[in-house]
Structure 1
Amino acid sequence: MNKFPMTVEGERALREELEHLKGVERPTVIAAISEAREHGDLKENAEYHAAREQQGFIEGRIQEIESKLSACQVIDVTKMPANGKVIFGVTVSLTNLDTDEEVCYRIVGEDEADIKQGKISVTSPIARALIGKEEGDVVNVKTPGGEVEYEISEVEHR
């Protein structure tokens, strides 16, 4: 089985969600099923069916998180030497050479990506173009709007 990279924060968030599902959500839905059973005929008991469906979603998510945690490789970029090279987990500041616009992205695992927070997946076109490059390098990134030329202005291990 291939291990996939995940940041320390990404792993922590999954573990917290797992604890919440097992410690809060699961017991709540089990109690709701038990209560709905007491209402009699299960065939026409909407509360029972809704609770069973919710239980299915919770159990499915628990299995999904446990699977992801068992298959991930947690990478703590703060413990790696900062040598200006773009690797998984770093935060990269880029300058668009056409517009002089500055952008900043953190390269994270697929499940952690959130463009609104400046987190891009390691498998995204921008991240794939950046990995292995260094501060000062110019990188061409193919975007839906055409090719964009960026200069890597800073690589931070934070």
Structure 2
Amino acid sequence: MNMSDLLPTNFVGTTMCAVQNDDGKFRVYFQNKDYQIYEMSLNDPKSTSYTLLKLTNGNMPAARINTPIAAVACNNLQEIRVFYITVNSRVQELCHSQRHGWQKGATIGTAVENSTCLYAQGRFAHNETMLRVGFQSATAPQTITEAHTVKDEWKTRVL
């Protein structure tokens, strides 16, 4: 396959994010032309061959168009977290583990409608995962609201 026909052209603001391991295995997360969130897996850094996996399905809330996607990964891509904004403006987490595959994670807040702000940062050390996800909250739109994990429980704070 030389050229892909993946991205929608009838709206502005298609966003993508990516994670990779030390060997160059690469995962791209984006909203496909069917408006669902997909994972593009590129396992050979010298090749453009890839596989696609649709992440949003009947069990995962649909993403709102024109909104951002953020991701973090650890353990050689064995654990991946993807964050996006749903059609109901909720900040949604999708979790991947080697053992369980993709599963719906936490709903960690409500973003302002049509928000373009979202970031994710992860620190993985000493068998403890610490995540930070920032977004423009509907309850305090003039600030950055950050959800963070404390012993696997989500808490929010305003920056």
Q: TM-score, normalised by structure 1?
A: 0.23
The structure where helix makes up a greater share of residues is 1
Q: TM-score, normalised by structure 2?
A: 0.23
Task: Indicate the structure (1 or 2) with the bigger Cα radius of gyration.
Answer: 1
